Chains A and B, each alone.
Chain A
Amino acid sequence: MNGVAARAGEARGPRARLGLHGRLLAMAYALALFGLLLTGAVLLLVVLAPLVLAALGLGQFFKYQLNHGLAFDGQDARDVLALLLGLACCRFVLPAALLATRRLAMLTRRLSARWCGVPIAAAYAPAPVPAWAGSRRLGYQQRMSWLLSDVSTWRDLLWLAVNLVTGWVLLLAPVTLVGVGVIAFLVPGSVIVPGMGTASRWVPPPAFPGNTPSVLLVIGVALVALGLGTAPVALRGYGGLARLVLAPSREADLARRVEQLAQTRRETLDTGAAELRRIERDLHDGAQARLVAMGLTLDAAGRLIDTDPAAARALLYEARDASARALAELRDLVRGIHPPVLADRGLADAIRALALDSPLRVQVTGPLDGRLPAPVESAGYFAVSELLANVAKHSGAGAAAVDLRHSSGSLRIIVSDDGAGGADPSRGTGLQGVARRVAAFDGVLVVSSPAGGPTVINLEVPCELS
C-alpha cells in the first residue's frame, strides 16, 4: 500500500530505478491530487465567504452611519442584507464546510501515505458528548466550539491555502514538462498524427532562433525525459509539503500518546486486578478447602487407627484421593496463569500444544525461531487461546489455521477459519478482551469476518525477537 515514490526507495534500495509505468502512474496520481486541490479551493471559498460577507456588511454599515448620521436608506439595506447573509452562512453552512474540510484533509493524509509514500498522522480532538440527554446530534454552539478549539481544524484550513498557493506547482510541473515536450516533439511536422495529417497543422511552431526540426526534437525529448524523471520526486515532495502542514505538532502527538497510554494502563490494571481476584477465589474454594478437608480426614484416621484399623485405612486412602484432586485443581489454575509449556518452549510450541488440545483441526505454520519478551508471549498465547475457543464455539468451522511470524520489529499472528463468519468486535466481550490485551503492548487487532466467512483475524504486536 505504499506510494510509487516509496516503493522506489524501499524495496530495491535508495538508488533503485522506477519503470516507465511507475512514472506514468505518479503523474496520474499528481493529476488526481490536483483535482483534490481544486475541491479544496472551493471549500476554502465556502469557509471564507460568510466571514468576508459579514465583515464587509458590518464595515460598510458603520462607515455609512458615520458619514450620514442615523439615516436609513437603500445603501443601508444592502449592507444589512450582506451582514445577515454572512451571519446566516456562518450559522448554517460553516459547520458543514469545516467538517468537509476535515474529510478532505483525512483523504489527503490517506492518499499521501498510499501514493506519495509519506504517511501523515491525524490528531483530532474526540467529539464531545451531546449536551442534551437523548439527543444524538451536537448543538450548534457545542459543535462550533469543538471544531474551532481544535488546532487541527486550523491546520486543515492552512493546508487548503498552502495547497492552493504552492501545491499545484509540484503537482503540475512534471505533467507540464511532458506536455510541452510532446508538443515540441510534434511541431516540426515530421511526425504524422494518425487521422490528422501532420501535427504542425494544429500547433504553430514556437518562434525562437534556430527552431529547426532536429533542435526541437532534442528539446522535446529532453523535456519529456525531465518530466518523467521528476514525477516521483515531485509527488514525494508534495507528500512532504502536506506532512509539513497537516502532521500534528509534537505536543499534540504527545498529548494523544499520553491519553492512549493512560487508557491502556487503566485497562491493564483492571484486568490484572480481576485476574488476581479470580485466582484468590479459585485457591480459596479449591486447593485450600481440600487441604482443610484432608487435615480433618487424617485427624479422624489418627483417632481410629488403634480401635478400627480398617476404617482408618479407608480414611487414609480418602485423604490421598483428596490430595490428588487438590493437585489437579492447582494444575488447572497454573495453566490459566502461565501455561508451563509456554515457559518451557516459547510461543510457537505453546500454540502447537494449544492446537493439539483444540477440538478443531488446527494447522500451525510460520517461522518463529527464538523467544519473545515474556509478557508478549503470554499475551499472544492467551489471545490465540481465546480466538481458537471463539472459532470452536461460534463459527461452526471444522478447521482453523494459525500463522506466526516476526517481521520488521513486530510479532504477527493470523488466525483464520473456514466458518460462517460474521464475527463482530463491537459485540462479544471475547474479541474486545483480546483487543485490550494487545493494546497494552501498542498492538493492533484487525478482524475481517464477512457474513458467510471466512474469518481472518490479524494481530500485530511490536516487540523484539531474541
Chain B
Amino acid sequence: MRVVIAEDLFLLRDGLIRLLEAYGFEVSAAVDNGEDFLAAVRSNRPDIAVVDVRLPPSFTDEGLRAALRARAEQPGLPILVLSQYVEQLYARELLADGAGAVGYLLKDRVLDGAQFTDAVKRVADGGTAMDPEVIARLLAHSTAAEGPLGRLSPREREVLSLMAEGRSNAAIAARLVVTERAVAKHTAAIFTKLDLQPSDDDNRRVLAVLAYLGR
C-alpha cells in the first residue's frame, strides 16, 4: 500500500515513515509543504495520503486545504488528516463530499503504532477514522439531538460513535463486552432508523457516520 506523507516537522515525518514502513506500507513520497504535497499526489497516485493540518508557508490550515484540493482533483482519494487539535468544523468539511475514505486524528494517536496503522488501512479501504475526541465533543451535548438521531437508543448511539471512530463490528463487540451478533443487530437497527437502504455494508457505515457528524 503506497502512502504520501505531508508533515513539516522533521522528527515527526521521520517517525511516521519508520512507523508505516515497519507495518509494511510503502512511503512513496514525504514532503513538508502544501504545494509539494499536491504535486506528489498528482504524480504518485498513492493509495492514501497522510497530511498534517498546519503546514508552511502559511502555517495555518494549509494542509487541510491542500487535502481538500487533492480530493477534488482525485475524487475518492483516501485522506488521513493529522492535527495537534481537532475541530468539528474541519471534520464536517472533510466529510462534506459524502464519499467516505476520510480520517481525522490527533497526532497523539501515532503513539500507538498498531492502532494508528489500523486506522490508515481502514481509511485506505474507504472507511472512516474519526478521532475519539471529535466524537466525545459531539457526544458531550447530543442528548437533545433532533431528527433521526433522536430515534436511536443510548446503546445504539454508543455503537454509532464507535463506528464513527472507524471500528469494525468485532472491535466494537470487544469494546462493549458483547457478542458480535449483538453488535450486528444494533447496526442493523441504526441503518433502519436512519433510513439507509440495504446495500454494500461499508457504504452504509459511512453514511451512518455522516448522518451522525452532520447533525
Stretch of B1-9, B28-36, B84-92, B177-185 contacting A (4+ beta carbons < 8 Å): B84-92
| Interface presence of B137 (CB below 8 A) | yes
Query: For the complex, what is the distance from the CA of A328 to the CA of B88, rounded to whole Å?
Result: 17
Contact A344–B111 (Cβ < 8 Å)? no
| Interface presence of B205 (CB below 8 A) | no
- Interface 0/1 of A313-341, CB less than 8 Å to B: 00000001001100110010011000011
Instruction: Give the chain B neighbours of A335 by CB distance below 8 A.
Output: 85
Closest residue of A by beta carbon distance from B137: A357
What's the least CB distance linking A367 to chain B, in Å? 18
Contact A324–B108 (Cβ < 8 Å)? yes
Query: For the complex, what is the distance from the CA of A356 to the CA of B54, rounded to whole Å?
Result: 21
What's the least CB distance linking A287 to chain B, in Å? 13
| Interface presence of A345 (CB below 8 A) | yes
What's the least CB distance linking A354 to chain B, in Å? 9
Contact A356–B111 (Cβ < 8 Å)? no
What's the least CB distance linking B70 to chain A, in Å? 18
Contact B111–A323 (Cβ < 8 Å)? yes
| Interface presence of A263 (CB below 8 A) | no
Contact B60–A353 (Cβ < 8 Å)? no
Instruction: Give the chain A neighbours of B60 by CB distance below 8 A.
Output: 343-345
Which of B53, B54, B89 is in CB contact (< 8 Å) with A353?
Answer: B89
Contact A331–B111 (Cβ < 8 Å)? no
Contact B85–A356 (Cβ < 8 Å)? no
| Interface presence of A349 (CB below 8 A) | yes
Q: A334-B85, A344-B61 are in contact. Are A358 and B141 (CB under 8 A)?
A: yes
Contact A320–B111 (Cβ < 8 Å)? yes
Contact A328–B108 (Cβ < 8 Å)? yes
- Interface 0/1 of B119-139, CB less than 8 Å to A: 000000000000000000100
Which of A320, A324, A334, A356 is in CB contact (< 8 Å) with B89?
Answer: A356
| Interface presence of A352 (CB below 8 A) | yes
Query: For the complex, what is the distance from the CA of A203 to the CA of B198, rounded to whole Å?
Result: 96
What's the least CB distance linking A68 to chain B, in Å? 94
What's the least CB distance linking B9 to chain A, in Å? 14
Which of B61, B64, B88, B112 is in CB contact (< 8 Å) with A356?
Answer: B88
Query: For the complex, what is the distance from the CA of A165 to the CA of B15, rounded to whole Å?
Result: 87
B residues 56-107 in Cβ contact with A at 8 Å: 60-61, 64, 84-85, 87-90, 92, 106-107
Contact B61–A345 (Cβ < 8 Å)? yes
Instruction: Give the chain B neighbours of A320 by CB distance below 8 A.
Output: 111-112
Q: Is the interface of A mostly helix, strand, loop or mixed?
A: helix
| Interface presence of A272 (CB below 8 A) | no
A residues 95-141 in Cβ contact with B at 8 Å: none
Closest residue of B by beta carbon distance from A360: B141
CB-based A-B contact count at 8 angstroms: 46
Contact A340–B89 (Cβ < 8 Å)? no
Contact B54–A331 (Cβ < 8 Å)? no
What's the least CB distance linking A20 to chain B, in Å? 54
Query: For the complex, what is the distance from the CA of A226 to the CA of B199, rounded to whole Å?
Result: 83
Q: What is the total number of residues of chain A having a CB less than 8 Å from a CB of chain B?
A: 20
Which of B87, B108, B111, B140 is in CB contact (< 8 Å) with A341?
Answer: B87
Number of chain B interface residues as a range: 20 to 34
- Interface 0/1 of B143-181, CB less than 8 Å to A: 000000000000000000000000000000000000000
Query: For the complex, what is the distance from the CA of A328 to the CA of B106, rounded to whole Å?
Result: 10
| Interface presence of A359 (CB below 8 A) | yes
What's the least CB distance linking A151 to chain B, in Å? 52
B residues 175-213 in Cβ contact with A at 8 Å: none
Which of A324, A331, A349 is in CB contact (< 8 Å) with B85?
Answer: A331
Instruction: Give the chain A neighbours of B64 by CB distance below 8 A.
Output: 344
Query: For the complex, what is the distance from the CA of A340 to the CA of B107, rounded to whole Å?
Result: 15
What's the least CB distance linking B182 to chain A, in Å? 30
Instruction: Give the chain B neighbours of A328 by CB distance below 8 A.
Output: 108
Instruction: Give the chain A neighbours of B107 by CB distance below 8 A.
Output: 327
Query: For the complex, what is the distance from the CA of A128 to the CA of B141, rounded to whole Å?
Result: 51
Which of B53, B84, B89 is in CB contact (< 8 Å) with A352?
Answer: B89
Instruction: Give the chain A neighbours of B112 by CB distance below 8 A.
Output: 320
What's the least CB distance linking B89 to chain A, in Å? 4
Instruction: Give the chain A neighbours of B61 by CB distance below 8 A.
Output: 344-345
What's the least CB distance linking A402 to chain B, in Å? 14
Contact B111–A349 (Cβ < 8 Å)? no
Instruction: Give the chain B neighbours of A349 by CB distance below 8 A.
Output: 89
Closest residue of B by beta carbon distance from A331: B85
What's the least CB distance linking B210 to chain A, in Å? 15
Query: For the complex, what is the distance from the CA of A344 to the CA of B108, rounded to whole Å?
Result: 20
Closest residue of A by beta carbon distance from B61: A344
What's the least CB distance linking B136 to chain A, in Å? 11
What's the least CB distance linking B113 to chain A, in Å? 10
What's the least CB distance linking A316 to chain B, in Å? 11
Instruction: Give the chain B neighbours of A343 by CB distance below 8 A.
Output: 60
Query: For the complex, what is the distance from the CA of A335 to the CA of B137, rounded to whole Å?
Result: 14
- Interface 0/1 of A22-49, CB less than 8 Å to B: 0000000000000000000000000000
Instruction: Give the chain B neighbours of A353 by CB distance below 8 A.
Output: 87-89
What's the least CB distance linking B118 to chain A, in Å? 17
Contact B140–A359 (Cβ < 8 Å)? yes
Instruction: Give the chain A neighbours of B88 by CB distance below 8 A.
Output: 353, 356-357
Query: For the complex, what is the distance from the CA of A359 to the CA of B64, rounded to whole Å?
Result: 26
Closest residue of B by beta carbon distance from A325: B108
Complex A-B, nearest 5 residue pairs according to Cβ-Cβ distance, in ascending order: A359-B141, A344-B61, A344-B60, A353-B89, A356-B88
- A327-B107, A344-B61 known, 15 other contacts, Cβ within 8 Å: A320-B112, A324-B111, A331-B84, A331-B106, A334-B84, A340-B54, A340-B84, A340-B87, A341-B89, A343-B60, A344-B54, A353-B88, A353-B89, A356-B88, A357-B88
A: residues with CB less than 8 A from B are 320, 323-324, 327-328, 331, 334-335, 340-341, 343-345, 349, 352-353, 356-359
20 contacting pairs across A/B (C-beta < 8 A): A320-B111, A324-B108, A327-B108, A328-B108, A331-B85, A331-B106, A334-B84, A340-B54, A340-B85, A341-B85, A341-B87, A341-B89, A344-B54, A344-B60, A344-B61, A345-B61, A345-B89, A349-B89, A352-B89, A359-B141
